[in-house]
């Protein structure tokens, strides 16, 4: 299943590219030139999340952003499990297919562990990390565990599939005063039907189900990427990834880190503060 939606060039002025991964056909963009930077999105977003940062960086970086299977314009392949491990494997295939070397990885939300897993397996090719409002270990906070259990329940799964709940009530409710209606429609229209939403519906359950994957990541990231130059970017009003709970461990994980605190930003930081994030990336990695 492919998504029949063409982004507005005024909002998403990029050429769509396609990669035939082992899981199915994957959509990505590859814009600009210079140091490669790979953007890994979370849920329930897609590469559209990074459009403003990519526009800012395109004259100084080679910007790549991929939609995981089940997200954005990528295929909804039969038999795909929509697990974090599967997403990381697909992104890794794309990285190897493109021959990326000395590249920076940016990950927000689930893009953090997905991007970090890609980096762990290619540590000698990673130039730097940009991590925002994310985690790299199993969660032990009760709000996230409760969210995972509630959103994985049958009644809530029906609402996610039928009503596009994660997009409407979590993503767009937060961004109500930040993006235009046309931009909001770009998040809606890539998830146009219950069948198209199976990928995003699976993600809340991964908070608990991906625990073995995250346990391994908690060991591998400090061991293999702990000395990698890192930029930590945090929306300080994020109720899901509260800075007091997550930033200290992030700081401790990376010996060579800088922190950009965004005082008024909530969870979806590339929408709230794209200019500040782009400038921090330039200052850190140019």
Catalytic residue among 67, 87, 238, 257: 238
Catalytic residue among 87, 109, 186, 220: 109
Give buried/exposed letters for 242-260 (b at 16+ CB in 10 A, else e).
ebeebbeebeebbeebeeb
238 is annotated as an active-site residue? yes
Question: What is the pairing mode between strands 126-132 and 230-235?
Answer: parallel
Instruction: Return the structure tokens found at 202.
Output: 């699976």
* H helix count then E strand count, the chain: 13, 8
Catalytic residue among 27, 186, 257, 267: 267
Q: How far apart are CA 65 and CA 41, in angstroms?
A: 8
CB 255 within 8 A of CB 223: no
267 is annotated as an active-site residue? yes
Q: How far apart are CA 243 and CA 249, in angstroms?
A: 10
109 is annotated as an active-site residue? yes
| Alpha-helical runs (H) found in the chain | 51-57, 84-98, 111-120, 142-152, 154-163, 165, 172-174, 181-188, 198-209, 211-225, 243-253, 269-272, 274-285
Nearest-5° angle of CA 272, CA 278, CA 284?
130
Q: CA-CA-CA-CA torsion for 262, 112, 207, 204, nearest 10 degrees?
A: 70
Instruction: Return the structure tokens found at 19.
Output: 């990669």
Catalytic positions: 109, 238, 267
């Amino acid at each position: 299943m492919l998504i029949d939606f063409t982004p507005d060039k005024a909002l998403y002025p990029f050429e769509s590219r396609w990669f035939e991964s082992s899981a199915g056909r994957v959509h990505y963009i590859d814009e600009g030139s210079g140091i490669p930077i790979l953007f890994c999105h979370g849920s329930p977003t897609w590469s559209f999340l990074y459009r403003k940062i990519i526009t800012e960086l395109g004259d100084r970086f080679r910007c790549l952003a991929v939609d995981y299977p089940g997200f954005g314009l990528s295929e909804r392949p039969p038999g795909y499990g929509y697990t974090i491990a599967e997403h990381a494997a697909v992104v890794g295939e794309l990285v190897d297919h493109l021959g990326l070397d000395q590249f920076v990885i940016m990950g927000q939300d689930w893009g953090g562990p997905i991007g970090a897993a890609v980096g762990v397996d290619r540590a000698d090719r990673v130039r730097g990390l940009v991590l925002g409002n994310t985690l790299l270990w199993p969660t032990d906070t009760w709000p996230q565990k409760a969210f995972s259990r509630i959103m994985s329940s049958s009644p809530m799964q029906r609402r996610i599939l039928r009503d596009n709940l994660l997009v409407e009530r979590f993503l767009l409710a937060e961004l109500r005063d930040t993006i235009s209606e046309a931009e909001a429609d770009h998040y809606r229209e890539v998830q146009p039907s219950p069948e198209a939403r199976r990928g995003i519906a699976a993600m809340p359950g991964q908070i608990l189900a991906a625990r073995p994957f995250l346990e391994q990541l908690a060991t591998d990231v400090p061991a293999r990427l702990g000395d990698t130059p890192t930029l930590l970017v945090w929306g300080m009003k994020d109720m899901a990834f509260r800075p007091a709970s997550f930033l200290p461990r992030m700081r401790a994980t990376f010996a060579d880190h800088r922190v950009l605190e965004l005082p008024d930003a909530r969870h979806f930081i590339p929408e709230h503060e794209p200019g500040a994030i782009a400038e921090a990336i330039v200052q850190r990695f140019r």
